[in-house]
Amino acid sequence: MTGYPAQAFFSGTEVNLGELMHPDDAERVWNSVEEALADDREFEIGYRIRTRSGEERWVYDCGRGVRDRNGRLQYIEGQICDDTARRQAEIGLHMKNAAIEASINAIAMASLDASIFYVNQAFADLWRLPDTSHALGRSLHEFWAYPEQAKKIMDILLSRGRWQGDLRAKRHDGTTVEVQLVCYLADDTNGDPLCMIGIFNDISERLEAQRELQRERDFATGLITTAPVIVLLLDPEGLIRYVNPYFERLTGFGLNEIENRDWFETFLPEDNRESVRHVFKQVIRDGSLHGKVNSIQIRSGEQRQIEWHSQTMFDEPGRMTGVLVIGLDITDQLRTNQDLIQREAELEQFKATLDQTLDSVFMFDADTLRFTYCNQGAVNHLGYSREELLGFHPYDLKPEFSERQFRAFIAPLLSGELDRLTFESIHRHRNGREMPVDILLQYVEPSDQAPRFISVVRDISKRKHAEQALHNLNRELELRVLERTAELERLSRRNAYIVDAAMDGFFSADQQGRVIDCNDAYCQMLGYRREELLTLTIPDIEAIETPEEIQTHIDTLIAAGQDRFDTRHRRKDGVLIDVEVNVMLKHIDDQPQLFAFVSDISERKRTEALLINARKDAERANQAKSKFLSRMSHELRTPLNAILGFGQLLESDPDRPLSQMQADNVQEILRAGEHLLALVNEILDLSRIESGHINITLEPLPIADIIQSCIKQISVLAERRDIQIRCKLPHDSVVLADPIRLKEVLLNLLSNAVKYNRKGGRVEITCRRIDDASIEVAITDTGLGIPAEFMPRLFRPFERLESAYQGVEGTGIGLALAKRLVEAMHGEIGVASRPNEGSRFWFTLPGVDLPARAIPDPPAASPVPQPPADSGHSHIILYVEDNPSNLKLLQKMLANRSDLELLTAINGTLGLQVASQQQPELILLDLNLPDMDGFEILRRLRNDAVTRHIPVVAVTANALPGDIERGIKAGFADYLTKPIEMICFLTTIDRIVRQSNSIDLTCVQKY
């Protein structure tokens, strides 16, 4: 309420609210108070104040206006309560609700009978529900894999008030998931249980990871604690961090005795201590070492020979943390070569370990050559089962290799000439695929057992593929180098030819702008000989930029690498030509050079200028057309206002009712006037479509509902001509269209089908999907049909086939308008007709599979407004209008309204004077007045403190959408277009007068 004294009475004490009220809330508060006073009701407002100490607090203000006997506002009284605590609690509640909704934990709330009334999005995601609504109203028991267990937990919760633990949940898709649940009872203010709240956390991955980790730990612990090998962990300095129980048993030292002690000083004999320390450093450097043998000294003083296998260890960031050492005590093996039984036992113990290796391990009899052992790696490698492999011989695995050839191959091992064989070969998989392998073959001859061979086979397919790929790549690179070298030579020669033969100009320059090279086309473009052009610089050629600007441009180009721009170059004869320059930076022998291609665009520039002028001419023509249509609409609507207005007055005069003949005559006048108004509207619609100014909003629509709504509107006309309307409509068809424009098309085609039909005929409406993307609507009538020679004229504006339809009312615009609207909605329209049988009009629209919103039927017509009961008070209305006919019409319309007093003014100046002197309750304003337009009058009324509160309604023949939008934005209380529809006009007056009369505006102004 800017401009009103901010002072009122509260609880008998005079307070200046302007000093207390927070400035950001002042306008909102005064507007709310003004609205309450206008409606003569109490107001309730929350706002902020600043106390004397500067503290900001929220208050709740309720009050009312106190009036005198004449209804004039005297003062405002009310009460103010401190509302700060409630506001802060409300903010806290909003923050908590936002936190719950955004929580990554699933949260559910249920009544005491376990019926869910709230879940957050995380709950829907955890149970894989389509959305949160699928959980509402359902029982919590439905969401558990074991509902009985869940029921027991809820019983505990109801008795104890809280429960926490793990459960297995059942998801919407039937799967289960393990969740951790924390639930408790929420109490009301009396301490009684109100509801149950549960917080769920998906722990399935964590539990599975824990179980997998535990399995791995159990396996590793079992292997380390039971395997008869030394497991030793040293840090990078050689300090002992861990030894396994086997080491403790072998050496007699427990881990607690030797942890953090130097390994070399503690267990290695002095004579080889430094050499082993050197090997340890090698392991640190290289990462691993296998098969190294040295002795260690145990507690008893005995030295044991150990075969070591070492591997460096790293943490997650990649830092080296130490060395893992596996040691095999081979003391007894070295003491005697006869201990084969012990070695066989150890071999059996290690078979399980060998099964875990990726390499294939075989043992086969030296006499029969039949496999006696193979590990799991061999099974995986060859695709045969273990039982099948134990019936094979080694040469069965190699394609086209005989027993005789194999025995000759292993003869050096049997004779002792070689102790092992290492070679590459080919193995055949069960499915026939051949695989390259690397084989280690050893011969073992125990004293008390049959001799045997041990073979370790490694699949080297990936290595071979990599080697072959590398070989192919090298060959390809060599070929590419040769080809590229030749290509570069060809390109160099070709580029020279192209540059010289090109129609565009070309030149190169250094970073100082000196021309280094150019082609003949550029010489001809500028009129120089080549020798002359090579003596110039860019500033000698460039006609727009100064030398300083050119150097700045070159520096920018060197930084960016390339540029493209339009400029002008100066010919030798001084003539300037428009050119397009495409320049890039290249380095030749590490020196930057500018390579520029120059195109003469003089002709293009002239063409662009012509196009610009043509576009301006088209825009001026379009503006002239819009002005003409606006003027035509205004000039036609002005006399139509009198025709339709006085016609309505004759038709609705209760004091002087018309005879039947007079009533029929008035109906003909009104029908002709409405037809002329429809013609004006259709012309404007067609013009907007052709100019692209019509707004089309496409949305999914159920076509059956739209058609049924249109049939209701056309049914009266059909019944009058005894025409039956039949429908075949699928209720699941949805089109993408503008609802208003779609109805306009349907009503046009339906009304034509009825108007141009035989009396007693039929109209059939069908709808079908013609492909995946389109839906067709067809309207078939039983009229006279359309001759083939008339078809090309059918959808042209203002073309009417009067020879076929003499005496039928029409404008010749409807079908043209329908065609433009259908095409604007991305559809097609057409017709098929047979003379004397009827016509079939059809159109297509895009079909969609989305659910469509329901289209409500058009609202029923408003009843004729009745004058309010006589209150003894007359409302003053001012009508500013220069047309005598319009003035007379309005006087006639209001003649029977004793509660309304009409003042008139024939120009804007007189209207402002009357408004200021009489202060009417409503001003009706024509926008086209002889001395000033209606917008200027509205501005002056709003700038005058005496008249700024009076509502102003525009009553004008300016009916274009742009005119209406401009009027609403300017601040008119309503915008009525001529011709005036009497019922709508009287309804608008009553509504605005009632609103303005609900508060004494004079009193409010003083307040």
3-state secondary structure of 852: coil
**Residue 145 contacts residue 168 (beta carbons within 8 Å):** yes
**What average pLDDT score do residues 78-105 get?**
74
CA 838-840-841 angle, to 5 degrees, is: 135
Q: Are residues 701 and 826 part of one domain? A: yes
915 within a domain of the structure (yes/no)? yes
Residue 272 lies in a domain: yes
Q: How far apart are CA 567 and CA 549, in angstroms?
A: 13
Lowest mean pLDDT among 119-123, 246-250, 954-958: 954-958
For residue range 51-81, list pLDDT tens digits in order.
878 788 888 889 888 888 888 888 888 888 8
pLDDT by residue (tens digit) across 533-552? 899 999 999 988 999 998 99
Mean of pLDDT over the chain: 81
Residue 161 lies in a domain: yes
pLDDT for 480 equals 79
Report the C-alpha gap between 116 and 139 in whole angstroms: 6
Residue 889: name the closest of 683, 673, 664, 668 by CA. 673
| 793 or 421: which leads in pLDDT | 421
Do 245 and 331 belong to one domain? yes
- H or E segment and range at residue 827: none
Which residue, of 600, 627, 660, is where some domain finishes? 600
**Same domain (yes/no): 465, 395:** no
Question: What's residue 601's pLDDT?
Answer: 87
Mean pLDDT value across residues 408-422:
89
pLDDT of residue 761: 92
Pick 715 or 13 by higher pLDDT: 715
Domain assignment present for 865: no
pLDDT at 13 over 60: no
Counting the structural domains of the chain, the total is 8
Question: Pick from 117, 111, 114, 126: which is nearest to 200 by CA?
Answer: 126
Residues 703 and 844 in one domain: yes
User: What CATH number has the domain bearing residue 907?
Assistant: 3.40.50.2300
Same domain, 514 and 590: yes
Tell me the per-residue pLDDT of 389-399, one tens digit each, with 9 for 90 and over.
998 999 998 87
Rounded CA-CA distance 121/242 in Å is: 50
- Is 953 part of a structural domain of the chain? yes
* Residue at a domain's end among 88, 117, 137: 88
Q: How far apart are CA 74 and CA 338, in angstroms?
A: 127
The yes-or-no verdict on residue 855 having pLDDT over 50 is no
More confident site: 894 or 501: 894
| Integer CA distances (angstroms), 849 to 659, 699, 700, in order | 57, 12, 9
> Could you give the CA distance from residue 596 to residue 573 in angstroms, rounded to a whole number?
22
Indicate whether 252 and 321 sit together in one domain: yes
Most confident range (mean pLDDT) of 230-234, 308-312, 839-843 is: 839-843
pLDDT digits (tens, 9 = 90+) for 573-626: 999 999 999 999 888 777 888 899 998 888 888 888 888 887 777 667 666 665
Residue 702 sits in the same domain as residue 833: yes
CA angle 745, 750, 755 (to 5 degrees): 130
> Is pLDDT above 50 for 925?
yes
The per-residue pLDDT for 342 is 59
Domain boundary among 406, 439, 459: 459
Are 353 and 402 in a shared domain? yes
Give one word for 798, left, alpha or beta, with left for phi > 0 and alpha for psi -120 to 50.
left
Instruction: Assess whether 700 and 773 both reside in one domain.
Output: yes
Based on the domain organization, do 491 and 531 belong to the same domain? no
Listed range (10-14, 520-524, 735-739, 897-901) with the worst mean pLDDT = 10-14
Q: What is the CATH number of the domain that holds 61?
A: 3.30.450.20
Per-residue pLDDT at 483 exceeds 80: no
Cα(16)–Cα(778) distance, rounded to whole angstroms? 72
In this prediction, residues 633-659 reach a mean pLDDT of: 69
Residue 622 counted as domain residue: no
331 burial (CB, 10 Å; 0-12 / 13-18 / 19+) is middle
Specify the pLDDT at position 40. 85
In tens, the pLDDT along 756-806 reads: 899 899 999 999 988 878 999 999 999 888 888 877 778 776 555 554 444
DSSP string, 243-288: E-HHHHHHHS--HHHHTTSBHHHHHS-GGGHHHHHHHHHHHHHHSE
In a domain, 558, yes or no: yes
Q: How confident is the model at residue 486 (pLDDT cuts 50, 70, 90)?
A: low
Same domain as 443, residue 497: no
Residues 121, 74 share a domain: no
823: its two tokens: 């095409």
Return the exposure string of 768-791: e unless at least 16 CB atoms fall within 10 Å of the residue's CB, then b: eeeeeebbbbbbbbbbbbbeeeee
Rounded Cα distance between 598 and 566, Å, is: 10
d(CA 320, CA 741): 76
Global pTM value: 0.32
Q: Is 380's pLDDT higher than 60?
A: yes
Strands 576-588 and 320-329: unpaired
Is the per-residue pLDDT at 6 higher than 70? no
Instruction: With respect to residue 647, please indicate whether it lies within any of the assigned structural domains.
Output: no
- Domain hosting 987: range is 875-1006
The per-residue pLDDT for 886 is: 80
Q: What is the mean pLDDT of residues 121-125?
A: 89
> With 80 as the cut, is the pLDDT of residue 202 above it?
yes
Residue 868 has pLDDT above 60, yes or no: no
Nearest one of 899, 858, 892 to 876, comparing CA atoms:
899
List pLDDT tens digits, range 686-741: 555 555 556 678 889 998 888 988 888 788 788 888 999 998 888 778 999 988 78
Condensed to tens digits (0 to 9), the pLDDT of residues 937-988 reads 999 999 999 999 999 999 987 777 677 888 889 999 998 887 877 778 888 8
